[in-house]
Structure 1
Amino acid sequence: MSRELGPVDHGRLLEALRLEARVLGEVAHSASAEAPVPTAPGWTLGELLRHVGSVHRVTLGWLREGRKPTQWQRVPYQDESVADYYTSGTEALITELAAHDPAERATTWWPADPTYGFWRRRALHETLVHRVDAERAAGSVHPAVPADLATDGVDEILTLYFGHKLALLGLTGTRHGTVGLRTGGHSWIARAGPDTMDAWRCSVSDAESADELVSGDPANVYLWLWGRAAPTSVITSGGHDLAAQLWALLRLATR
């Protein structure tokens, strides 16, 4: 039986990945490839689609080679459209993920979860966040994010990126303190400082006892943590400095 590290089970993650990947492709097809992506300054919609296609291919390389690949197809072939490049890479990754039990061991960059399930979750949120980017580029003001996936994404970005990726990059905070986060019936604490960077799930009372508390609708908290929503989209109590530090550190971890 597969272990579930997040609020959403692995079957739902794979189902959602299929849907998000299809919608991203459809949105990109419906708009100009030269449309700027407001939530990813400097990118066009075509460049965003190429990026996701490349990420899906490097993920497939991790799974097939048992390590991070040194080479993979990063751009379309000369006679290949960006849309075809994206579609073929996405379909290959989903097929690979679906063919393996999520509990099966796989090489990952997070020691806490060396399984195929890690990659289901990571591929979903990579695709979901960029689907939001694509819809913004296509003119949608408020792209929808399902509440259960948003809550799972809050868990992932806190435990994986804040609690692990920052340490891999050798990055720490400048101010000591804790930020509690509460959304979708779940709560977390993110602790930062010059000598510690970690995050974990906690009770509601523990989150509310943190130095600062961030709360709101799951989609808003998720998109805010990913730098896709304004500070006013979440509610911050107890101050703003530590929440701002959390947000800034995540920009470094997820760039």
Structure 2
Amino acid sequence: ARAELRVRVRLPGGQVTEESLQADSGSDCISLELRTADGALVTLTADFRQEVKIFRALILGELERGQSQFQALCFVTRLHRNEIIPSESMAKLRQKNPRTVRQAEEVRGLEHLSMDVAVNFSKGAQLSSHIHNVCAEAKEAIYTREEDVKFWLEKGVDGSMFEVLPQTSDLPDLQRCKLCADRWKPCICSYSLSIEWYPCMLKYCKSRDAGGKVSSYKCGIRSCQKGYTFDYYVPQKQLCLWDEET
């Protein structure tokens, strides 16, 4: 059964955006979607069964600089236990007042990830069936990291879907895109996103029955905010025009 909740969330610049949270306890996955202040659409899909997280960003292109209407990126990482509440708990979430503007109770540290492996779109369904839908616009831009690949290989995932990308150690003159003057040269691009509000933990309360026996029960959620920065190889700087010195 799919359940959807829409919450109003305050962005760092003070603007209010609507975030959609969907839970499907049947396929044991959840997804969150929000539009950021610069117009990008960010989606996080958590596939609990496969222990996979998929971040997708649809970034508005700069048409006057020869870019397409939007650019899609997919970053796939390992989903750890207790990062986010289970899908069946998410499916039961309700809010008393849908007009309330929410701000996360806890800010979790920024995670900086080096995405050094490309994922083959047509084979990606073996890693998570959601890659096929979520990353359809980002077929040529699905990234993960070597340490997560090792974990999935141990679980029996087919290794032929992964391709290690060029690193600074292979190409000594490979620079960060923001330092690279030539638009057509390869470089290391950096993209940052933030999940402004998500249910990261269940809260438990204690109750005492007539005989004095104490029991605990779920009585709500704790909300978190978390930022991510992904570094990854691009064959030309033109694919990374947001990452410039301003």
TM-score bin (small chain)? under 0.3
Q: Say which structure is richer in helix.
A: 1
Larger-Rg structure: 2
- TM-score, scaled relative to structure 2: 0.22
TM-score (norm: length of structure 1): 0.21
